[in-house]
Structure 1
Amino acid sequence: MESVWLFINQYLLIPLIVAAGLLVLTPLLNRLIRKKIPDSHFGHWLSIYSFIIFILTYYQGKPFLTYPFISFGKFDVDLNLLIVSFFVLTLAYHLSKVLTKQFLPTVFTRYQLDVGIQYTFNRLFHYVVMIIAVLVTTSMVGLDLSALTVFAGVLGVGIGFGLQNITSNFISGIILLFERPIKVGDRVIVEEIIGDVEKINMRATIIRSINNEHIIVPNSYFLEEHVVNRSYAAPEMRLVVPIGVSYDSDVDKVEALLMSVAEEESNKHETILTTPEPFVNFVGFGDSSLDFELFIWIQDPKQFMRIKSSVNFNIFRTFNQHDIEIPFPQRDLHVKSIDQKLLSDLKEH
């Protein structure tokens, strides 16, 4: 019993006291940090990092910290290595998140960078910080990269065969961030699904559809397949509203009414542009109607469906008020003659 108490007193008592003190201080740290960084949990991590530093200092030189339990050639993996690696990598990760959320936006605002460029800089900054953290970790633990030659060779074979798609999507993600055929905030159409780009991650891009569904698309898709980007370069786009009227209609009156609808809608919606001016296109002579198209330019692609619906409502009301008929498809059947014998047979039955 005395030996057990001696072990606890020598190895566990002080660390337990420190851990209890940090548990008490953590809520206070969170409140102080959240005054500067809202919605942050960095206080918890600050307590964890403080405890890790204390453990490494307190148990410095103890055999159990440096006892190897896995070996790669001449390189040994011990508890000290795992603790230091965890400390450096997680600290770099959280510092990167804090900087990208709290400090970089000030720089972006100052130079008036758009959302897509901001996201690109944030991702690149995060990647650079993590790469530096990995290099610092290998340097601190004295890792000899030559000891991992065999492991790297096996990993290379794995990438060449089993991880082709992952590697392809990762490289495609880097290309998307630099070349920017799509960027965060763009309104895109992927396989007839309309949505907005929310995130471009290392492997896949997250798109939120207009139905609030999240679609995960591999990054390589945007470089290999046909994708419509309504926000690429100039965001302005043309809204085409088809409409058919009966052959009895006055085409000049139809044109004037459609132009009046366009003018009314431009007064209601700021996103509708007056330059280029709205235009009525007489498409041609359909089977059941005279076919027209109303062209309207809008500056926000995300308002496309709402504006089109509003224009359709307005056209229908306006045409009803002015007795302009919108016909339904119809066919005329003309009977030139009928065999008299066949007619008599039909009458008998």
Structure 2
Amino acid sequence: MRRTSSFRTRTLLLALALCPLLPTQAAAQVAAPGPALQGESCSVDGLMDSIRRGLESNSEAYKKYLRTVLREAAPTLPDNELKAAFERETDPVMAEHLAAALVARTERGADPQAIKAVAKRALEESNPAVRAATVRSLRRTSALESTDGVYEQLVRDASPEVRQEVATNIIEDIQHVYAGIHPPASNAAVSAAVAATDPKVTAKILGNLDTQRISAESTGKIQSLLRDEDVEVRKAAALALGGVPAEQMASARQSVLALYRDERNIEVRKALLQSIAQLGFIGAVPELQRLRSLEPRLAPEIDVWIRVLSLDLQEWNLILREKQRLQQVP
């Protein structure tokens, strides 16, 4: 807590240097705790001009620090000026900085609508580079839940760069904001993956998604992708089904077993075997034994799974680690 407070103090002091008219309220936060003082507003244009000049530096660390300065100062900046500056900015780098500042206003409780203004431009902006930059500003925030399903629309964006940025946002939001344990966020991620028209995006999201808290509806959506024409989508869907909640395991197990019998791609079949193992642990051994003759090339893979599962380990990460160890043994 002390380090965070000290960091914010330093960034506000730098903001004061960049923009001498920063609100007296911010200066009061730096000087001493107590009732906030009222004062003149900082000129957003003046601050942005200072940051624009600073971005000409060769130091990436300094550029990152400038963005942090703007984000920390955002709650004290005039809302209308900040939004107007963002809406007219055409440089992708500066647009991302301004968008991040608006998002920070929402994340800090200063303006719940600011993040929606950013999401709106991400949808409506004609320049794909600016759209991609705007999407990046939403990373590791509450956008997955607070922007009215905007990611479901952006995963169908005409620009491959934008689509990939959205996929990265979703993955990092789930991992770093929600720790993979917030059902609404995980369900939103599944909906976005299914809505995507780009197989690479669908596979990227599902391949990095923790499905332990998803709903039965989301499980059904993933099951529908097991018959997708794209190999990587089928593989990612198979792996994702291995981690579904206990009450959905029976349905998921039936789906992956049925696909294993029909699937011809060996990599997808490997993913299905892992899902079968994860859904059943030691109880999957009889099923794996029955599948052994269907694909002779995977008999060694099945044998390793049977050996590992027969150890009756109770943690999936331990099972995966032991399987990897056994496969490395000459």
> Shorter-chain TM-score category?
under 0.3
Q: In terms of Rg, which structure is larger?
A: 1
Q: Which has the higher helix share?
A: 2
Scaled by the length of structure 1, what TM-score is found?
0.26
Scaled by the length of structure 2, what TM-score is found?
0.28
